[in-house]
Amino acid sequence: MEMLFGGRYVLLLMSLFSIYCGLIYNEFFSVPFHIFGGSAYKCRDVTCSDAKSAGLIKFRDPYPFGVDPSWRGSRSELPFLNSLKMKMSILIGVAQMNLGIVLSYFNARFFHSSLDIRYQFVPQMIFLNSLFGYLSLLIIIKWCTGSQADLYHVMIYMFLSPTDDLGENELFWGQRPLQIVLLLLALVAVPWMLFPKPFILKKLHSERFQGRTYGLLGSSEFDLDVEPDSARDHHEEFNFSEVFVHQMIHSIEFVLGAVSNTASYLRLWALSLAHSELSTVFYEKVLLLAWGYDNIIIRLIGLAVFAFATAFILLMMETLSAFLHALRLHWVEFQNKFYHGDGYKFKPFSFALITDDDD
């Protein structure tokens, strides 16, 4: 139990978030519950005896909190939940990547690097939100208006033919000119990240050592010999090609990573879908199947198998899988926006160093 005791706070937080997710989906062990009131859907007509097979119609306001439990078991359950989870994954991913870029701003402020703020933070925010921030806005507008617009079509033809009429895929007035402006901003942000910073660094380096070089002209050869710490000895050569290649790699990595990192957050959708389907299989094909027999032995065996599968497969294996995927999202997709890990050279404690400093 020592390992469990050491991770007691992690387990507490994981259990609280599991309860929260259960409330969002209004489920308990894959069993739907109408916790927050009645459903917003009812039978299509009076002859509808089985709403799960004949279909449902909406007759009141949406469910007050989370997913309406009536979706559970309906014919459109999987398409609806797939769409919902996919869009939620994109929203969470874009929000976390924006947070990572905001943290890079505070890093730049801490190190007093105005270049990083002007030529990395600003264009990165513009590029990410011109494309995927706009996609997140479209998702929220589609949810709020109930539009049937195809967001795949909107985003693809935003690049292929931005001037074409959107037709039935138009979500709000002025969407087409806004898309053109956002596309131009994204295109401008790429050279904004790439070119100015290396040239400004070269100019600052040349200005920094120019005055020192002129100051050496008035000194004698004897003065230069007795000043080993003079500016000429410490004049470091500025390798412009290395700085430019480094900036180019960083810019290309961010541009390509904006697409791949957003797609990588879809693993949240896949994990949620796998966990949900496993829960349904264990509940329907093990517990309910065993409960269908009028035999106490079979029922006890089914209950034992269901408890074993829930504890060891859903709670342990699935939890480990979700933890590893979440760790990867934090390390790769989130921290590469602000964390460099350069650090400082490790200097172990030594009495010899102390004596040298005293001398």
Residue 84 lies in a domain: yes
171 pLDDT more than 70 = yes
State residue 236's pLDDT score. Answer: 63
Domain total of the chain: 1
Residue 287 lies in a domain: yes
CB atoms within 10 A of CB 306: 20
Residue 23 lies in a domain: no
Distance CA 302, CA 307 (A): 9
pLDDT digits (tens, 9 = 90+) for 107-153: 999 999 999 999 999 999 999 999 999 999 999 999 888 888 899 88
Structure tokens belonging to residue 229: 């710490």
74 pLDDT more than 80 = no
pLDDT band at 227 (very low <50, low <70, confident <90, very high): very low
What is the pTM (predicted TM-score) of this model? 0.80
Distance CA 63, CA 187 (A): 42
Using CA atoms of 35, 41, 46, 48 in order, give the dihedral in degrees to the nearest 10.
-90
Residue 176 lies in a domain: yes
Lowest mean pLDDT among 172-176, 189-193, 296-300, 350-354: 350-354
Of 31-40, 181-190, 194-203, 289-298, give the range with the top mean pLDDT: 181-190
Residue 223 lies in a domain: no
Residue 46 lies in a domain: no
pLDDT digits (tens, 9 = 90+) for 264-296: 999 999 998 888 888 888 888 888 899 889 889
Residue 64 lies in a domain: no
Question: Cα angle at 42 between 40 and 43, to 5 degrees?
Answer: 165
pLDDT mean over 67-83:
82
| DSSP for 222-261, written as a single string | HHHHH-TTSTTTT-----HHHHHHHHHHHHHHHHHHHHHH
State residue 33's pLDDT score. Answer: 86
358 pLDDT more than 80 = no
State residue 196's pLDDT score. Answer: 92
pLDDT mean over 64-81:
82
Distance CA 193, CA 72 (A): 48
Domain range enclosing 314:
80-214+241-340
Residue 138 lies in a domain: yes
